[in-house]
Chains A and B, each alone.
Chain A
Amino acid sequence: KQEVTQIPAALSVPEGENLVLNCSFTDSAIYNLQWFRQDPGKGLTSLLLIQSSQREQTSGRLNASLDKSSGRSTLYIAASQPGDSATYLCAVNVGYSTLTFGKGTMLLVSP
């Protein structure tokens, strides 16, 4: 059974810091890995999708990497801003659009 773990569970940083969020999964048989952000009480916003054959994806200040063999992914956020405060979720696609999610990292960026 696929299990996804995210570390740390919570993170508080001052504005401007670069930070790394970690995600690990137990079964390397995945189709892709997706990072989402969720604001309190809201739905999920897709940030980045990495296909299983890819090593990384970039979008603006965000960079996500994938090491399928070791079951790890990282989300790098450069020059963090207060607007980045949210919960960040990692999910692996195990087939048929079935996502297995981690519990998330709650990020707080203070001005």
Chain B
Amino acid sequence: KAGVTQTPRYLIKTRGQQVTLSCSPISGHRSVSWYQQTPGQGLQFLFEYFSETQRNKGNFPGRFSGRQFSNSRSEMNVSTLELGDSALYLCASSLVQPDTQYFGPGTRLTVL
């Protein structure tokens, strides 16, 4: 069974631009969560989706948004990029609640 996939793997953007990251969960998994990882703050929860509904959101500004589609694939969007948004963005999926979460390889975003 294929694992969690994330595209693209690497992105370079400039301040003020917008970016969309994509995550495909393991087949059959309906819960998708997003995390931001930076050297200073470590791993921080962004938001979680289940059956196309956002159930929980972390303490991030409104520039960070996401959505989930009927096939459980998820996207997150960051608008008006800032230098501090440079990070590894990780997506995780799980089958049921609460259960083991499986992470993708991440998208490395660099904002110049």
* Chain A residues engaging chain B, CB cutoff 8 angstroms: 31-32, 34, 36, 41-46, 49, 51, 89, 91, 93, 95-104
Task: Please name all residues of chain B whose beta carbon is closer than 8 Å to the beta carbon of A99 when the two chains form the complex.
Answer: 33, 35, 43, 45, 92, 101
Contact A96 B97 (CB under 8 A): yes
- From A31, A42, A44, residue with most partner B Cβ within 10 Å: A44
Flag if B56 contacts A98 (CB, 8 Å).
yes
Residues in A whose Cβ lies below 8 Å from that of B94: 97
Q: Is the CB of B90 within 8 A of A96?
A: no
**Contact A97/B92 with A42-B105, A43-B106, A89-B43 known, Cβ cut-off 8 Å:** yes
**10 interchain pairs, CB-CB under 8 A:** A32-B98, A45-B103, A46-B103, A49-B99, A93-B101, A95-B56, A96-B55, A97-B101, A98-B48, A99-B101
Q: Closest approach, in angstroms, between the C-beta of B51 and any C-beta of chain A?
A: 12
With contacts A43-B90, A89-B43 taken as known, whether A97 is within 8 angstroms of B97 at the C-beta atoms is yes
Interface of A is mostly: strand
B66 within 8 A of A: no
Which size class do B's interface residues fall under?
A: 20 to 34
Chain A residues, Cβ within 8 Å of B88: 41
Question: Closest chain B residue to A91 by CB distance?
Answer: B43
Which residues of B lie under 8 Å from residue A34 when comparing CB positions? 100-101
Q: Which residues of the other chain, B, contact A102 by a CB distance below 8 angstroms? A: 42
Q: How far is the CA of A41 from the CA of B100 in the complex (A)?
A: 22
* Contact with B45, one of A36, A89, A98 (Cβ below 8 angstroms): A98
Given A42-B105, A43-B104, A95-B56, A101:B98 Cβ within 8 A: no
In contact, B105 and A43 (Cβ under 8 angstroms): yes
Residues of B within 8 A of A89 (CB): 43
Q: Does B102 contact A (CB under 8 A)?
A: yes
